[in-house]
Amino acid sequence: MTGSKRDTVRLLECAIEQDHYCFDTDCIAGVFQSSSVHADDSASPEIAGALTYGRQEIPVFSLRTILGYESHTLQRCHVVVVRSRGMHFGVLVDLVLGSREANFDQLSPLPRIAWNADKPFFDGVAVLDQRSRRAMNADHGDGSRQLATREGLDISLLIAPQGLLGEPLDGASSRWRGTPLDLTALRYQQQNQTGQIMVFGIPEGNQELPASLALSISQVLEVVQRKQLVRVPGAPERVEGLAFWRDQIVPVVDISLALGIANSHAPSATRLVIARNCQQQL
């Protein structure tokens, strides 16, 4: 009925090896055989090729490559064509299993910052074992503040401090820039790097959607109790003030405000993460 609130959502269930992923059917324009994809060996690894859809060529992203699985040929795969922000793009999956219905309260959506992760302060996304994350965050309840889950896995955004103090810069220069899967995560994975990260959350009541964030452990110098801050007249709203740390003066940035997740400072924040920003401390 027009104007009524939906309690359920229809999902298209797909598979990569033994793992299952779902798409909201309202965003799906069609499903095609992978034989329709024009392979492009010169493209970056996450782009499987292009698909002729209507009168346009649209990019086809390999979900397998983006999520870190071993790549394989295009044979016997399927392409799910998705609509987003007035654009179309394809997602290559192993199998399309069929549709299913789910209640909205069963879903944990990605926050809107995940769709704009080509800003300079994002390095990409990371898939974490949920049980390990709950152990790391045992003092934060049941660990339910997640970005998104699939079969017990938790996805977190990796944040680089660069850009948080200054105005956002232009992001990726890919020809497919602007599509939801054009994240810096793609470039991050191409580097084939691994490392330890520190996962932390945004204070409760200061976010529009659940979020967990992460910093490379090499960037984190120390985690300290929240200190008395020296306010700076005229500073950007995201800069809470200055703190004294080990005989140094460091600017304190409210992550929620800097990423556009909150409209005001979080009085419940209890920790300061002292992080390295190139030659600065943040």
Asked if the domains at 8-101 and 108-281 fall in one CATH topology, the answer is yes
Residue 148: what pLDDT? 33
Residue 191: what pLDDT? 42
Q: DSSP string of 132-178?
A: HHHHHTGGGTT----S-EETTEEEEEEE-STTSSSPPPP----TTTT
Residue 24: what pLDDT? 77
- CA atoms lying within 13 Å on the CB side of residue 170: 4
Domain ranges of the chain: 8-101, 108-281
Of 172, 179, 114, residue with least CA distance to 147? 114
Task: Dihedral sign for Cα 23, 28, 31, 34, please.
Answer: negative
C-alpha to C-alpha distance for 205 and 202, rounded to whole angstroms: 9
- pLDDT tens column, 166-180: 333 233 222 222 233
Residue 263: what pLDDT? 61
Helix (H) or strand (E) segment spanning residue 39: strand 37-39
Place domain 8-101 in its CATH homologous superfamily. CheA-289, Domain 4 (2.40.50.180)
CB neighbours of residue 32 within 10 Å: 18
239 - beta bridge partners?
253
Task: Dihedral sign for Cα 50, 52, 56, 62, please.
Answer: negative
Residue 233: what pLDDT? 81
pTM of this prediction? 0.44
Residue 77: what pLDDT? 86
- Assigned architecture for domain 108-281: Beta Barrel (2.40)
Write the burial class of residue 124 (CB in 10 Å: 0-12 exposed, 13-18 middle, 19+ buried): buried
Residues of the chain with pLDDT under 50: 1-4, 109-117, 131-156, 160-193, 205-210, 278-282
Residue 249: what pLDDT? 84
CB neighbours of residue 15 within 10 Å: 14
187-210: b (≥16 Cβ within 10 Å) or e: bbbeeeeeeebebbbbbeebbeeb
